[in-house]
Amino acid sequence: MNPALPAALAAALDAALTGVARKPLAAAARKLSEGYRQGQTSRAVVSPEDACAYAVARMPATYAACSAVFSRLMMAMPDLAPRTLLDVGAGTGAASWAAVTAWPQMESLTMLDHNPALRALARKLAQAGPPGLASAEILGGDLALLDMKAGLVVASYVLAELPEEKAAGVAAELWRWTDAALVLVEPGTPQGFARIRAARAALIAAGAHVAAPCTHDDECPMARSVGESRSDQNQSDWCHFSQRLPRSRDHMLMKGASVPFEDERYAYVAVTREPAARGARILAPVLETKPGLTFKLCDETGLRAQFVAARDKDEYRRVRKRGWGDLF
Ligand SMILES: C[S@@+](CC[C@H](N)C(=O)[O-])C[C@H]1O[C@@H](n2cnc3c(N)ncnc32)[C@H](O)[C@@H]1O
C-alpha cells in the first residue's frame, strides 16, 4: 500500500486549511507534539485549529503506519474481506481512510471518539472519501461504553492515551466487538510496545490468533521490559517497525523539517478469529555484507539470527528483497 495520504484526503485537508494562518497552526502543532512527548493526551486538542494542527502534523504518519499494518494483515490473511469497520479513538480518521484503501469493499464504517474537535474534522474529511467513508457514522463517547460489532476493529495510537495497566483489559473488551480481525497500532517506543505486548497476551488468552507481526501465539520472546535483565542480550530491544512517508509543504512547516519525508516508528498487533499463515517475521533492518545477508527473525522458536550466504544463489535470490517487517 502507498504510505502517502490518498489524493482525495490530501485535497480535503488542504481545503480544511483554507484561510488558516500557518504560523499559529505550526505553534499549535509544536505544542501538541511536545505534549505527546511528555505523555499528555489528545484532550489538549480543543479548537478547530488544534484539530487541523493534529491532522497536518500527525495524520500522515498514523495513516502510513496503519497502511503498513493493514498490508501485513492482508499478506497473513489474504481471504480477509471485512465489510464493516469500527475505528475506536478515530481522531481525524486516519485508520478509517487506510482501511477503505486496503479493503475497498468496506460498506459500513463507524468512528468513535470522545473529542468533539477531532470528530468535526474527521466528518469534514470523510465527506471527500469513497461512499462507505462519506456516509460513516461518527459517534461521540468513551470507548468503555462501546456496544457494537464489526468485521474489522481498529484502535490506532489510542492505548497510549490510557494508563499502561489498562491496555490488556481494553484490548480484551475490543475483541468482544470483533467479528474477524482486531488491529492495535501504537508508537514504536518501549512504552508503545509494552502496551501492545500486554494487549497481545490478553487477546491470546481470550482465544485470538496473532496474524502479525508474530507468526505464533506463544509467549513473546522479547525481554519483558527494556533493561529488565542485564544478562539478556535483548535487554535494549523492543518489537517495532518503521515506515517512511512523504511530507507535504505544510507538514514540513508544522514539523520545522528540512527533508520531505519522515520515518514513523510504530508497534502493532493484528489478531484474528481464524488462524493465519505462519513463517518467521524480520524484526530489524537486514544486515547486508559481502558474504551475505543477516536477518533478525522471530517465530515460534524465539528470536534468532539467520545468515543467507550470497553464494547460496537460489535462497539469496528468494530473500534478497525482504526487509524489516516482512515475512522471511
Ligand atoms: C493520538 S490520537 C489517534 C487518532 C487516530 N486514531 C490516529 O491514528 O490518527 C488518540 C485518539 O483517541 C481518542 N481517545 C482516547 N481515549 C479515548 C476514550 N477513552 N474514548 C474515546 N476516544 C478516546 C482521542 O480523543 C484521540 O482522538
Q: What is the pLDDT of residues 276-295, one digit of tens each?
A: 878 999 999 999 999 999 99
Tell me how far the alpha carbon of residue 273 lies from the centroid of ligand 1, in angstroms. 25
Q: Same structural domain for residues 182 and 310?
A: no
Total number of domains in the chain: 2
Q: Same structural domain for residues 155 and 187?
A: yes
pLDDT confidence band for 258 (50 / 70 / 90):
confident
Tell me how far the alpha carbon of residue 170 lies from the centroid of ligand 1, in angstroms. 13
Q: Same structural domain for residues 286 and 236?
A: no
Residue 327 lies inside a defined structural domain of this protein:
no
Tell me how far the alpha carbon of residue 158 lies from the centroid of ligand 1, in angstroms. 5
Instruction: Judge if the beta carbon of residue 82 lies within 6 A of ligand 1.
Output: no
Q: By alpha-carbon position, which residue is closest to atom 23 of ligand 1? A: 89
Stretch 293-321: mean pLDDT, rounded? Answer: 95
Q: By alpha-carbon position, which residue is closest to atom 12 of ligand 1? A: 89
Digit-coded pLDDT (tens) for 197-216: 999 999 999 999 999 999 99
Q: By alpha-carbon position, which residue is closest to atom 17 of ligand 1? A: 89
Q: Same structural domain for residues 46 and 181?
A: yes
**DSSP letter string, 135-192:** T-EEEES-GGG----EEEEEEES-GGGS-GGGHHHHHHHHHHTEEEEEEEEEESSHHH
Please report the pLDDT score of residue 232 as a whole number: 45
Q: Same structural domain for residues 180 and 315?
A: no
Digit-coded pLDDT (tens) for 20-39: 899 899 999 999 988 888 88
Q: By alpha-carbon position, which residue is closest to atom 27 of ligand 1? A: 91
pTM (two decimals): 0.93
Residue 171 lies inside a defined structural domain of this protein:
yes
Please report the pLDDT score of residue 236 as a whole number: 62
Instruction: Judge if the beta carbon of residue 60 lies within 6 A of ligand 1.
Output: no
Residue 149 lies inside a defined structural domain of this protein:
yes
Residue 262 lies inside a defined structural domain of this protein:
yes
Q: Same structural domain for residues 134 and 204?
A: yes
Q: Same structural domain for residues 195 and 311?
A: no
Residue 222 lies inside a defined structural domain of this protein:
yes
H/E stretch holding 101 reads helix 94-102
Cell numbers 459517534: residue:
139
Residue 289 structural domain: 281-319
* Atom number in ligand 1 closest to CA 142: 20
Instruction: Judge if the beta carbon of residue 157 lies within 6 A of ligand 1.
Output: yes
Residue 1 lies inside a defined structural domain of this protein:
no
Q: Same structural domain for residues 94 and 192?
A: yes
Instruction: Judge if the beta carbon of residue 42 lies within 6 A of ligand 1.
Output: yes
H/E stretch holding 200 reads helix 190-205
